[in-house]
């Protein structure tokens, strides 16, 4: 009977895992596209002329701070002065987190006017807005502790380039030749904007979705239009209340080529190239941060083909090969491969602080061919695409300026649709739903912590009622810990608090305090109430998961060990004297976990203030709970272990208890 149930459990687990795996693979798949042409089946003939070409820049996560790393400010001024002069972009997209908004201790968060003045002064002093169209938008740091757009702390309105005219989402259009280029900025900042850390995921409310839909209609009303979407949050970190997600909004816009963003900072260097092709039919490209990595992006739309290169500040020359386009980023749903197949020239954009001396190119292992200068940064070399009609090939460009700086770049290309795969980590970071993931890991850990306690308690009652054979435990590590947890679940004064507290975290308030400016709010796992507004839970679940894994899980194991120790003390009379090593093993783990939780409670106090600290079941009250349970189990009266003794203090188990006790003493 036991084997049958075990097999059934294995089969059910395999089915559930298969369903989950299939859904994840389906979500991350980017192979759902087939090559398409425009409505007339035409393409723009690509030759050696500068027509149908535009280039622009993106910079993100400046984190201008008055407390740390002044080079962020100094080198940002260099970017606005020298980089813009050398590249001469038509547009600069500054995609959020323009300021750091963190207190001197890096824990609290609020808006500092001095940081915004640095940003404004640099843009003004370098006359960046005269050199290019400067399109900036808010990030979550620019929205820390801002109750609404009319708040005195909303410095974006007064100190940014676009803030006064466009406080949230907006669109700019540029007419160049026969083409219209639209740039749609998506502001997904929360309103109100809580202090960190509960401001990590953005949201588009109904009004913002309506506004974005109106921008799409305006963009689609014009033929020969190419649209670039930009914002701070990746689509994986944007909630929408209605049926349309941010990916649906971008994907339904037929002329939208790409969504560029920041926010994730390459995940601390784990994913330095965070790119993917969304199933809705557009590229999503996260640029590395300026804060620590000093990265920016050069982008171009050349005859309808989008190309880009991520560049580190002060690295020159800068090279961008626009034809043939990089095979990984060719979007068959939005770009016509015939444009490359029927082109007459390889096209390269070359930039440097000094004049360009030499530009040459080669394909695969062929000879180097010197490129001809056309205009601006454009260099070309004639080629015969028919020689490379099948499979993957490599194009390599070499650039040297008159001051001797040298740079080379290479990229794969394909003329028959042969595709490359994006990295799995990039696809997970940009294609998953962060809020759903946070919620899943929270509830999974919750079940993992609580369910075994109730199952073992049920097994205990089954044994004592005679419905189940008493377990035979060996001396393995697994058997020891099962016995310890079993004993803990029989002690009512310990079982109910340790089992119900994590359940409480799933529905009860975590803290009450000043969450935004001087407004009192309430934090739940499932959302935040402040200033009459409800912000759905997202990063709160991740915060709760960290509480469960760093506090609840180790505390449960520690209390189980203490309960087992007290059980042995009371059952083995007279109790054997413990060695110093055994005492350390018994008490030190608790004080480590308790100290860690005290540190987290202190950080929470710095972030949200005294009221949130005092009215904080998540952090502060959990310390009281842990201390009380620790004291009670160490001084547990004999009557409280009677239930455990009914199973474990028998003649068949006495030897095991003695052996374990002997090992602890030794």
Per the CB < 8 A criterion, the answer to whether 205 and 191 are in contact is: yes
The rounded distance, in Å, linking the Cα atoms of 180 and 219 is 9
Average pLDDT over residues 523-551: 94
**pLDDT of res. 136:** 97
Sign, Cα dihedral of 465, 467, 468, 469: positive
Tell me the two tokens of residue 261: 């963003």
Grade residue 472 by pLDDT with cuts at 50, 70 and 90.
confident
Per the CB < 8 A criterion, the answer to whether 645 and 638 are in contact is: no
CA nearest neighbour of 33 among 332, 338, 254, 335: 332
**399-438 residue pLDDT tens:** 999 999 999 999 999 999 888 999 999 999 999 999 999 9
Q: Quick one: what percent of the chain has pLDDT higher than 70?
A: 90
pLDDT of 665 higher than 50? no
| pTM above threshold 0.85 | yes
Per the CB < 8 A criterion, the answer to whether 291 and 72 are in contact is: yes
What backbone torsions phi and psi does residue 322 show, to the nearest 5 degrees? -100, -20
**pLDDT of res. 27:** 55
Residue given tokens 């003045």 in the structure block: 117
Average pLDDT over residues 580-604: 92
Grade residue 466 by pLDDT with cuts at 50, 70 and 90.
confident
Average pLDDT over residues 473-489: 85
Average pLDDT over the chain, rounded to whole?
89
Residues in CB range of 419: below 8 A, 6 or more apart: 31, 327, 328, 330
Grade residue 641 by pLDDT with cuts at 50, 70 and 90.
confident
Residues in CB range of 600: below 8 A, 6 or more apart: 547, 550, 551, 619
Grade residue 30 by pLDDT with cuts at 50, 70 and 90.
very low
**pLDDT of res. 24:** 54
The rounded distance, in Å, linking the Cα atoms of 76 and 612 is 37
**95-112 residue pLDDT tens:** 999 999 999 988 899 999
**321-348 residue pLDDT tens:** 999 999 999 998 899 999 999 999 999 9
**pLDDT of res. 35:** 38
Average pLDDT over residues 450-476: 85
**257-273 residue pLDDT tens:** 999 999 999 998 999 99
**170-216 residue pLDDT tens:** 999 999 988 999 999 999 999 999 998 899 999 999 999 999 999 99
Collapsing DSSP states into helix, strand and coil, what is residue 83? helix
pLDDT of 162 higher than 70? yes
**pLDDT of res. 576:** 67
Instruction: Let me know if 88 is exposed, middle or buried by CB neighbors in 10 A (0-12, 13-18, 19+).
Output: middle
CA nearest neighbour of 528 among 546, 517, 516: 516
**pLDDT of res. 221:** 86
pLDDT of 133 higher than 90? yes
**pLDDT of res. 5:** 41
Tell me the two tokens of residue 24: 């994840």
**pLDDT of res. 7:** 42
Grade residue 480 by pLDDT with cuts at 50, 70 and 90.
confident
**pLDDT of res. 447:** 95
**pLDDT of res. 147:** 93
Average pLDDT over residues 18-24: 46
**38-92 residue pLDDT tens:** 433 567 899 999 999 999 999 999 999 999 999 999 999 999 999 999 999 999 9
Average pLDDT over residues 379-385: 97
Q: Quick one: what percent of the chain has pLDDT higher than 90?
A: 76
Grade residue 25 by pLDDT with cuts at 50, 70 and 90.
low
What backbone torsions phi and psi does residue 448 show, to the nearest 5 degrees? -60, -35
**pLDDT of res. 18:** 41
**pLDDT of res. 513:** 92
CATH number of 316-432: 2.60.40.10
pLDDT of 34 higher than 70? no
**Can you list the pairs that 244-252 forms with residues at least 24 positions away whose Cβ atoms lie under 8 Å?**
244/209, 246/186, 246/188, 246/204, 247/278, 247/279, 247/280, 248/280, 249/209, 249/212, 249/213, 249/216, 250/278, 250/280, 250/282, 251/278, 251/279, 251/280, 251/281, 251/282, 252/216, 252/280
Per the CB < 8 A criterion, the answer to whether 302 and 279 are in contact is: no
Domain with CATH 2.60.40.10 in the chain: 316-432
Average pLDDT over residues 143-171: 94
């Amino acid at each position: 009977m036991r084997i049958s149930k075990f097999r059934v459990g294995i089969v059910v687990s395999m089915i559930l895992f298969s369903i989950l795996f299939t859904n994840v693979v389906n979500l991350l798949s980017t192979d759902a596209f087939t090559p398409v042409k425009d409505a007339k089946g035409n393409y723009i003939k690509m030759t050696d002329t500068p027509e149908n070409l535009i280039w622009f820049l993106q910079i993100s996560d400046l984190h201008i701070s008055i407390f740390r790393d002044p080079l962020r400010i100094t080198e940002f001024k260099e970017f606005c002065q020298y980089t813009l002069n050398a590249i001469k972009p038509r547009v600069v997209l500054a995609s959020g987190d323009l300021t750091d908004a963190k207190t001197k201790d890096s824990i609290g968060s609020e808006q500092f006017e001095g940081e915004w003045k640095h940003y404004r002064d640099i843009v003004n002093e370098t006359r960046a807005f005269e050199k290019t169209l400067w399109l900036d938008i808010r990030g979550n740091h620019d929205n820390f502790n801002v109750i609404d757009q009319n708040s005195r702390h909303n410095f974006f309105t007064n100190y940014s380039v676009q803030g006064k005219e466009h406080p949230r989402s907006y669109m700019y259009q540029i007419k160049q030749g026969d083409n219209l280029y639209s740039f749609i900025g998506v502001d997904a900042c929360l309103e109100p904007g809580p202090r960190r850390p509960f401001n990590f995921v953005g949201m588009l409310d109904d009004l913002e979705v309506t506004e974005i839909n109106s921008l799409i209609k305006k963009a689609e009303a014009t033929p020969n239009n190419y649209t670039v979407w930009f914002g701070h949050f990746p689509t994986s970190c944007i909630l929408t209340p209605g049926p349309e997600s941010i990916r649906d909004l971008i994907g339904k816009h037929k002329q939208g080529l790409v969504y560029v963003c920041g926010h994730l900072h390459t995940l601390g260097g784990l994913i330095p190239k965070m790119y993917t092709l969304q199933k809705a039919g557009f590229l999503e490209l996260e640029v590395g941060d300026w804060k620590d990595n000093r990265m920016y992006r050069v982008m171009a739309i050349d005859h309808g083909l989008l190309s880009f290169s991520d560049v580190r500040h002060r690295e020159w020359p800068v090279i961008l090969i626009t034809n043939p386009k990089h095979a990984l980023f060719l979007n068959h749903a939005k770009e016509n491969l015939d444009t490359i197949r029927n082109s007459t020239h390889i096209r390269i954009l070359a930039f440097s602080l000094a004049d360009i001396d030499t530009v040459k190119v080669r394909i695969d292992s062929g000879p180097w061919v010197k490129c001809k200068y056309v205009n601006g940064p454009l260099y070309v070399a004639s080629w015969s695409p028919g020689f490379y009609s099948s499979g993957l090939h490599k194009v390599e460009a070499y650039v040297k300026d008159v001051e001797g700086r040298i740079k080379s770049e290479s990229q794969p290309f394909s003329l028959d649709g042969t595709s490359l795969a994006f990295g799995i980590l990039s696809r997970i970071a940009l294609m998953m739903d962060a809020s759903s993931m946070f919620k899943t890991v929270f509830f999974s850990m919750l079940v993992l912590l609580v369910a075994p306690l109730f199952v073992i308690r049920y097994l205990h009652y089954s044994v004592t009622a005679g419905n189940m054979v008493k377990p035979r435990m060996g001396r393995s590590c697994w058997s020891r810990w099962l016995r310890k947890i079993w004993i803990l679940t029989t002690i009512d004064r310990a079982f109910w608090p340790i089992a119900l507290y994590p359940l409480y975290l799933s529905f009860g308030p975590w803290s009450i305090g000043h969450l935004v400016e001087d407004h009192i709010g309430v934090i739940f796992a499932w959302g935040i109430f402040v200033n009459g507004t409800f912000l759905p839970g997202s990063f709160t679940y991740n915060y709760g998961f960290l509480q469960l894994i760093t506090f609840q899980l180790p505390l449960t194991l520690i209390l189980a060990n203490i309960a087992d120790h007290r059980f042995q003390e009371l059952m083995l009379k007279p109790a054997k004297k413990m060695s110093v090593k055994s005492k350390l093993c018994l008490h030190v783990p608790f004080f480590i976990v308790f100290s860690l939780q005290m540190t987290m409670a202190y950080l929470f106090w710095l972030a949200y203030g005294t009221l949130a600290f005092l009215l904080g079941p998540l952090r502060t009250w959990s310390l009281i709970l842990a201390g009380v349970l620790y004291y009670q189990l160490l001084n547990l009266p004999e009557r409280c272990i009677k239930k455990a003794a009914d199973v474990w203090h028998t003649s068949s188990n006495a030897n095991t208890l003695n052996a374990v006790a002997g090992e602890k003493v030794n």
